[in-house]
Each structure stands twice: as C-alpha cells, then as structure tokens.
C-alpha cells in the first residue's frame, strides 16, 4: 500500500467505502430507537395532561421520550400541585362569564 500514488489511494478508499458504508448505515438504522421531544409550556391542570399522556404512551411503545418544561410549564414539576388550576379561558367545560346582559346571564 505504501507504493500507491494519491489517485490509486483515493480509488482504493472509495471502493472500500462503497463496500462497507451501506451495510454500516443499515445496521445503524435498524438499531436506532425512535425518539420524541415534547414541550410543556403551560402550568394549568388541563394543559398538564397532553404532554404527560403523550410521554407515557411513547415510552410504553419503546421510544426515547423527553419533556422540556418551559416558562409556566415549570409549575408542573412541583410536588404540591394543590395551587394548580384549570384554565377557564377557551375551556368548553367551564362556563364563560358574560360582561353584559341580565344578572343571571353574567354569573
């Protein structure tokens, strides 16, 4: 091999790469574990369920799963969640207070 010139060395190297690379890439692809990253941005109870349900489901399926807690989502990491509330804004299960109309309609 020491008596090869640069062109011969390049040709030999390209030939070896063409032989070995496809099988190596296939081995890596077959052994790859799927991964999922979830971002939790809100700290209310109604927004706590989606990231936790998605994370537990993907983990049960064998995926590498991580949840990134940002801004108000950090509140979900506390042990005591007694001060966590359900957001009434845009929640169909919560009645909306109306600023106008009869008194019974406003409550």
Provide the residue-wise pLDDT of the chain in tens; the chain has 107 residues: 567 788 889 999 999 998 888 988 888 888 888 999 999 988 888 888 899 999 999 999 999 999 999 888 888 888 887 777 776 666 666 666 666 667 766 66
Structural contact between residues 64 and 36, judged by C-beta atoms closer than 8 angstroms: yes
Domain contains 72: yes
Domain contains 44: yes
Domain contains 104: no
Residue 51: which of 32, 77, 78, 33 has the closest Cα?
77
Domain contains 84: no
Task: Please state, as a whole number, how many other Cβ atoms lie within 10 Å of the Cβ of residue 73.
Answer: 19
Range of the domain at 62: 33-78
Domain contains 70: yes
Give the CA-trace dihedral at 90, 95, 98, 101, to 10 degrees.
140
Domains: count for the chain: 1
- Rounded to two decimals, the pTM is 0.56
Whole-angstrom distance, CA of residue 88 vs CA of residue 86: 6
């Amino acid at each position: 091999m020491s008596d090869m010139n640069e062109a011969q060395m390049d040709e030999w190297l390209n030939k070896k790469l063409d032989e070995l690379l496809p099988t190596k890439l296939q081995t890596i692809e077959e052994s790859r574990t799927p991964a999922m990253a979830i971002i939790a941005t809100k700290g209310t109870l109604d927004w706590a369920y989606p990231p936790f349900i998605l994370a537990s489901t993907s983990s049960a399926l064998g995926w590498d799963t991580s949840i990134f807690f940002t801004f108000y989502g950090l509140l979900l990491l506390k042990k005591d969640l007694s001060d966590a509330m359900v957001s009434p804004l845009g929640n169909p299960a919560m009645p909306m207070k109306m600023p106008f109309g009869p008194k019974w309609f406003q409550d």
